[in-house]
Structure formats: structure tokens, C-alpha cells
Structure 1
Amino acid sequence: MTTATDTAAVFADSPPASRIAGLDATRGFAVMGILLMNIISFAMPENAYITPRHWGGDSGADLWSWAIAFVLFDSKMRGLFSIMFGASTLLVIQAAEAGGRSAAQTHYARMVVLALFGLAHFFFLWVGDILFLYACCGLVLYLFRDLSVKALTIWGILLIALNSIMMSIAMIMLHMGSWPGAPADLATAYGKFAADFAPYSAFGREDYELYRSDYATILAVKLDEMLFQPLILMPMYFAETLGLMLIGMALFKNGLLQGQWSIERLTKWATVGLSIGMIGGIALLALQFSVDLEPAIVMGTTFGFSVPFDVPMSIGYAALFMALAQRFASSPLIIRVAAAGRAAFTNYLGTSLLMTALFYGWGLGQFGEWSRVQTYGAVIAVWVIMLLWSKPWLDHFRFGPMEWLWRTLARGKVQPLRRTH
């Protein structure tokens, strides 16, 4: 059995003296999977992520691609990514303690640098950044490091439930603004909300014009109109994300993410988790169709109602990918996926560079021009790039390029990069 002390963080900034190969592979699947959902935000106006009615096609294959993504991937891959961050943060803390370094100093230095990376990512590349959110959650996450599996699970569930309930109530109340006789203020708020989600609305056209413009224009708008957006969005995601990270810590401590479980046990957890997620997802998809994709219900379903099904499915994916990594450990594909996971930080940021270069006006200017189905061609292309470059690079270097930079900045000292054989 491999030890934890030399295993990397979620973006793999530690060299592999010994590694939990399944954790690397699961991280690789996660960074690949999150692009399945992020691609819509790269390629289309913001609200197209919530509903296909807004942009990119709401019939035929486009509608079904949205429906399948909702049931199988939406929020599940983000949940898996957050779970992996929690587990891997615990590994870094343990590695620091085992190496005689200050765990607190190591952890908080990493989070401060990650926050700076996140802000740079947001302003200079893509507004869909999660790094700043993760860094802020990480500042609190350290306080939970010594809790038991039971305590971590309870805290995680409470935080996730709190966020889910708040989002669900907010969207139900907003939906009530569409009812006859609704209070004037509520009806007005709903009318503005619904107008923003309407097909090719003025709100969407603003995004369309902005992201098809030049780099200087996009940056100027971000620095003017979106300056505080990384903080403004925090209440919407903080509690749920921190809760998922605590679940990740619990799954590491109980052995699932340490490669200690048998394939049979992992398969059972994967079956149960994925089944709960798919049954709930299909039921909620039916709900959305029953109200003709009314935007408040669709948004409430995406960020509130679906959470009790999303979290078990994220855990199911973690169990599934750990089982696959164990069962096919010598497979060339799994080896390359694990390498992509070891360079997940570079792959995450590299994806933003490639996709904004493809869709934004300073690049090829394809923003808002592709259908939903067409965008998945770009996903496959980026997956191929991840799998092709990560392993050869890591055969010669100890870290991915951005992993090396993160580690160097966090430690305040240039870290060795090239492997010695």
C-alpha cells in the first residue's frame, strides 16, 4: 500500500516518491470531466449554462445533450473536483507534518498563492474561475483537519444542506413572482430574471458582444464592472464547496481515496451513488420539462433541488474511478489519465487558455456561434491534448509547469524541476 505523505494536492504540486495512483487517476478524470460542463460557459453567454433555451439550441440533439449533461455531469463533476481538493489538501497537511515542516505555514502559503492564481485567472483569462473560491474555502478547511470521519461527514452534510435549502427557497420564491396576483415587487423581480434567460436576450447579447471583442475591451470591463465578482459570488457557492471538501477529507480518512478499498466495495458504492444520482436527475429533468423549462425552476433544480442527488453521484464517481484505476492499473489509458491528474493545475489553466483562444474575439472569435453539440468536439480535442502531453512531460520533469510555479511561490524558493534518474 502506498503512503500519503508524498502524494500531491488536487492540482498535484508534490513530487511522487510514492503515490496513490488511483487518486491521480480520479483527479485526472475530474479535470477532464469538469470541462464537459465548463465548455458551455466558454462558448456561450452565461445563462446558456442554466438553460438551453437561452443560447445554443433547445431542440433535437442540442436539447438532449443538455438533458444528458444535466443528469450525468452537471454539478457532479464540480462536486468530484471539490471532493478531490479536500482529500488532497489533507494529504499535503500530513506530508508537511511528516516532513517536519509547519503544516499551518505550508497550507496557508499554498492557499494565498492559489488565491492570487485564481484572481489572475479570473481577470486575465476566464470569469468561470474556481481557484479563488477553493483558496477561500481552504482557509477554513484547515480547521477541520483533525476531525473524525463521522464529524467531517456531519459537518459536510450540514453545510451542503444549508446551501441547498437557501438556493431552493430563493428560487421557489422567485418562481412565485410568475403567479397571478403575486406582489408587485416580486413580480417585477421575476420579470427581470425571466427576461435575462429569454432566448437570445439583451443580457445574452451583451455577453456575445463583449467576448467577441478584443482582449483590452474584455479586460477593461472585468476591471470596471466585475471587479468584486469573485467575492460577490462567494455566498452562492462557499458553504456547499466547503462541505464537499469536508466529504473529501472523510473519504480519504475512511480509505476510499487512499486505495485501501477492494474493487468489490468500491463497485458497490459506485453503483449506489450513481443510481441515486441518475434516478433523482431523471425525476428532476422531468420536472423541468413539465414546466416548459421555466427559468426559476430550472435554476433552482440546478443549484438547489438536485444537491441531494448530486453529492451521492459525485461520491459514486469517485468510487468508480478508484475502482477503474485499481482494476486497470497497467492500462496505457489509465496511466495517461493519472498523468493528466498529476498535472491537473496546468491542465485546468491550460484549458482556459485554449478555450478562450478558440472562442473569444482576441483569438478565433467563435463565441456564441457553435451549437451545444458542436462544443463537445472541442472537449474531445482538449482531452486528447491532456492525455498526449502530460505523461511525456512528467517522464522528464517532477511537476507540471504550473504545479512547479505554485510550489516555488508557496515555498519562496525555486524548486527543482527536472527529474534525476
Structure 2
Amino acid sequence: MTDATIKAIPTRQADRIGEIDIIRGLALFGVLWMNLNANAEFTVPTPVLAALPTAAVDRWIGLVGEWLAQGKAQCLFSILFGFGFAILSHRAEARGVDARALYLRRVLILLVIGLAHLFLLWMGDILHAYALMGLALMLTRRWPSPLLLIVGLILALGAMTAAIAWYVAVTPRGSPPDFITEQAAGIARRWPIFMGHDYGALVRELLIANGREFYLTAIGPAFLATVLGRFMLGSWLFRQGWMQDTARYAPAFRRAAPWLLLIGLGLAAVAPGLELAGLRLPRWAQTPRTLVDEASQLVLALGYAAGIVVLCQTAVWRRLLSGLGSVGQMALTNYLSQSLVFVFVLYGLGLGWLKYAGPTFCLALALVVFAAQIVISRWWLALFRFGPAEWLWRSATYGRWQPLFR
């Protein structure tokens, strides 16, 4: 074992930024909730959802989810990943360690986990995308902060907007874009497979769906570019030092949070507002609407983060939000365990409750699962330093078993 390996120790409990864990926990709940909604949307036929006894309430809960969480939770999670990359690089270099080699091992291990999760369990995996764009993020380590911010904003706001603009330009008038056609065919194909008992057929469908409906369309590459942009913004935020000393910058957070939340909520209300009003935008308006959607996700995600920082300046609120921090500290374990629970509850391999998965059911299931994860995470972290997945990930990254018991 080299001296550099000995110096490359993982983050100690005392070095953790409590607000970051709480923000990550909030983001994880949003990801959990929206994963359930999206899985139902891309799997359950519309007549099945329309026939549910909760259909009338489902519409309103679906609109609220679209307004408050859709895209925003994933955006916040992505920003935190970029922030974490910067923390790891900074602390490794402070110890005289080659941050690139350490980070490369960490990301490649995450890529293996993500690909296994994507093709063996859950269609909406995000880990593989984070690992792939994490590799690209390494190239920006020495970029000056203004360049990091500008390119990050361009990618975060412009990548998906450009993809939609391209579809508007090339799709014949009166015809849906090819990815919409593929998704419609995918729903009809997936429904009997996911409700069946053939695990091999499910794995084949995961492979087909992620290709035809995502990565072989313009949406997949645009999504990856968006993730990279958000990573870059998270890395830029670390360089500003605001989250490392929230008490010092608390007045600035108090000024920024209301504006970020108000503007973000206003922008995010456009899409559900149009749907509620039954309005269909002309073709030319699809591109600016996408830009508004991407901006709403970024601004509202930052508003949520700033709001939590403000609340955490008060001991009572910090204590009330500590459950989110426990979940956030075990984010990888909780993310993967959510998929295991959902496959068992929803698919024909388990309880087969996918046929009930309207927005009301999805929200109720998300709340129950997340509440259980708060309890379990608190209990686990009282005994152990890391979650089980985090412990294995860290041990593989640092090349030796990490101390697990407190």
C-alpha cells in the first residue's frame, strides 16, 4: 500500500456538510416520487389509468407533481453530484493524492453499478448517466470558474431545448416525433411483459426500451449533455465556498431563497397550467416552452436548496430535517433499495400492483417507502459509519476495506 493510498481516506463524519445531506435527502424523495410516476406513464396503458377509481384525483396530483418535482429533483441531485466531485478532488489534492486516479476508480465502479441497475432492474436508472458524464466532468477540473459557469448554463438550459428544436424542424407537420412514436409502441409492448412472470423477458425489454426510446433518439444524448451542464454548475458552486460556510453567508441565502422559489414556481407552473387549460401550443412554441421547462427545473432546484440552508440556520428546523439528512447520507443504498421495492410491489414478478399505479397511488407508495427509509437510515447510521452500498463503493474506490462500525 502506497503513501498516497494511505492519505486517500474517505470523508470523515466531522467533515460532512450537514445541509448537503439534507438537500440530497429531499432530492432523493423527489426522484423516488417521479420515478414511480414516470414508470407508470411509460408502462401502463391510458385506458387502465383512466378506469382507476382515483382517476379524478389523479389528474390534480399529477399536475402538482409536475409543478413541484418533475425534473427539479433530478436537477438538484445532479448539481449535488458535481458539488461532490469538486469536494473529492479538493480534499484529495490537499492530501497530496492524485485526484484523477481516485475519482476515475470511483466513477467506473459507479458505471458498473448503474449499468447493472439499468439492464437488470429499473428502466429509469440515473447512475450510469452520472458515471458517464462524471468522466466528462474530469476534463473541466482546471477550467476557470467563469468558463465552467457559462458552459454549464449553456448545456443545462440549451441541450434539451436544441433537441426539441431539431425535432420541430425535421418532423413532418401533423406527425409526432419519432421518440413519441417509439414510446407509444413501447407502452403497448411493456405492459404484458412487466405484468408477467418472465424475468428474462423483462431484461430484454429494458435493453430494447433504453435503446429505441431513449439513447437511439436525440433525447438521450441531449439528456446526457444536460446532466453534464448541471454537474459543472455544482462544481462551480463548490468553488464559491457558499455551502462550506453557510452561517457566514446566511443573509445572502435568506435574500436569494424567496426569489429563487417564486421565480422557479412561476416558471414551473407554465406546463401544468397549459395542460389544465387544455391549450395546445403551436409547433414553433415547443422550443421556447422547453427552454422555460429547463429554466424552471434549475431555478426551483436552487430555490429548494437555498430554502433548506435558511431553515437549517435554526436548531429546531435542523432537527426536524435531520431525517432527510440520514437518507441523504445513504443515498446510493436508498436509491437502489427503492428499485427493489418497486419491482416487487409493481411488477408481475411480485405483487403486480402496477395496474393501480395512478399518481395518487404513486404518491402514497413514495411516502410510505420514504418514511421507512428515514427510520431504517437513522437506525443504520447509529450503528455504522456508511450505508452498505456506500461502504462497498468506498472500499472498492480506496482499495481496502473501510471501517464500518462506529
Query: TM-score scaled by structure 1?
Result: 0.83
2:112 is equivalent to residue 126 of structure 1: no
2:222 is equivalent to residue 236 of structure 1: yes
**Cα distance in 1 between the residues matched to 2:345 and 2:102:** 37
* Aligned equivalent of 1:385: 372
* Aligned equivalent of 2:191: 208
Change (3 A) 1:288 1:245: same
Q: Please, which of 25, 29, 41 is the counterpart of residue 28 of structure 1?
A: 25
**Cα distance in 2 between the residues matched to 1:294 and 1:59:** 25
Change (3 A) 1:386 1:132: same
1:153-182 superposed Cα distances (whole Å, 9 cap, x missing partner) = 11111212331331331453477622xxxx
* Aligned equivalent of 2:4: none
Check the 8 A contact 2:253/2:310 in 1, yes or no.
yes
Shift, 1:147, TM fit: 3.5
Change (3 A) 1:391 1:206: same
**Cα distance in 1 between the residues matched to 2:316 and 2:227:** 30
2:137 is equivalent to residue 141 of structure 1: yes
* Aligned equivalent of 1:80: 76
**Cα distance in 2 between the residues matched to 1:127 and 1:121:** 8
**Cα distance in 1 between the residues matched to 2:207 and 2:167:** 29
Q: Which one has a larger percent helix, Structure 1 or Structure 2?
A: 2
Change (3 A) 1:41 1:133: same
**Cα distance in 1 between the residues matched to 2:113 and 2:286:** 29
For these two proteins, the number of residue pairs brought into alignment is 390
2:15 is equivalent to residue 18 of structure 1: yes
Percentage identity across aligned positions? Answer: 28
Change (3 A) 1:297 1:219: farther
Shift, 1:383, TM fit: 1.4
Change (3 A) 1:295 1:19: farther
Q: What is the correspondence of 1:191-230 to structure 2 with a 5 Å cutoff?
A: 203-214=186-197, 215-223=199-207, 226=210
Check the 8 A contact 1:288/1:297 in 2, yes or no.
no
* Aligned equivalent of 1:41: 38
Check the 8 A contact 1:281/1:309 in 2, yes or no.
yes
Gaps of 5+ in 2: 1-9
2:353 is equivalent to residue 353 of structure 1: no
Change (3 A) 1:24 1:203: closer
**Cα distance in 2 between the residues matched to 1:163 and 1:208:** 31
Check the 8 A contact 1:175/1:297 in 2, yes or no.
no
Q: Please, which of 274, 279, 298 is the counterpart of residue 287 of structure 1?
A: 274
Range moving further from structure 2, 216-225 or 83-92 = 216-225
Check the 8 A contact 2:157/2:291 in 1, yes or no.
no
Change (3 A) 1:340 1:254: same
Q: What is the correspondence of 1:54-93 to structure 2 with a 5 Å cutoff?
A: 56-57=49-50, 60-93=56-89
Check the 8 A contact 1:358/1:365 in 2, yes or no.
yes
1:253-292 superposed Cα distances (whole Å, 9 cap, x missing partner) = 2233224354332132221112112112223333344555
Q: What is the correspondence of 1:147-226 to structure 2 with a 5 Å cutoff?
A: 147-173=143-169, 177-178=173-174, 187=175, 189-190=176-177, 203-214=186-197, 215-223=199-207, 226=210
